[in-house]
Amino acid sequence: MPATAATAAGAGRPPGGAAATMEASGTWEADQPMAHDEFTRAVDASREVELTVTGRRSGRPISLPVWFVRDSDYLYLVPVSGSDSSWYRNVLRTPALQLTAGDAQLAASAAPVTDPARVGEIVDMFRAKYGTEDVAAYYPKQNAAVQVPLG
């Protein structure tokens, strides 16, 4: 299930995988380097990933579980509250993020997706993966997504 108000703040959920640190340049550097293929295998076997972003006010790492879809060499994330979601606004400020699937990690730079037609395509992929009813229930505002390159 996507992040709720409680999990969005990280309550009750420890960050997954190995630790990571934020460099002064604003990019993530994994403490344990991980191959692209390892992360791809881990994400293909997962239903959700742990997303770590930098708080736009605090500057601290914030982790939460999120649903995703994979399309070729990209992962797509849809914020539960659309463009009003805190983690989405954090990504707009600092695009560097970290994804964790099992023990595998990926440090990447995210790109916002706001074109209504493209967001609709991504939401359609979410419906195919998670079901129409759950996507309708958990994603009431579908006006934004995030694209994360896998390599």
pLDDT in tens, 89-116: 999 999 999 999 999 999 999 999 999 9
Integer Cα distance of 113 and 101 in angstroms: 22
Q: Mean pLDDT in the chain?
A: 83
- Mean pLDDT, to the nearest integer, of 61-85? 96
Q: pTM for this structure? A: 0.78
Integer Cα distance of 107 and 31 in angstroms: 11
Higher-confidence residue: 13 or 146?
Answer: 146
pLDDT of residue 10: 34
Q: 2 pLDDT band (50/70/90 cuts)? A: low
- Mean pLDDT, to the nearest integer, of 63-82? 96
Q: For residue 45, is pLDDT > 90?
A: yes
What's the token pair of residue 54?
Answer: 């930098």
Percentage of the residues of the chain whose pLDDT score is greater than 90: 74
What's the token pair of residue 116?
Answer: 């209504």
Integer Cα distance of 100 and 37 in angstroms: 14
pLDDT of residue 35: 52
Q: Can you count the helices (H) and strands (E) in the chain?
A: 5, 10
pLDDT of residue 36: 75
As to burial, measured by CB atoms within 10 angstroms (0-12 exposed, 13-18 middle, 19+ buried), residue 45 is exposed
Q: For residue 69, is pLDDT > 90?
A: yes
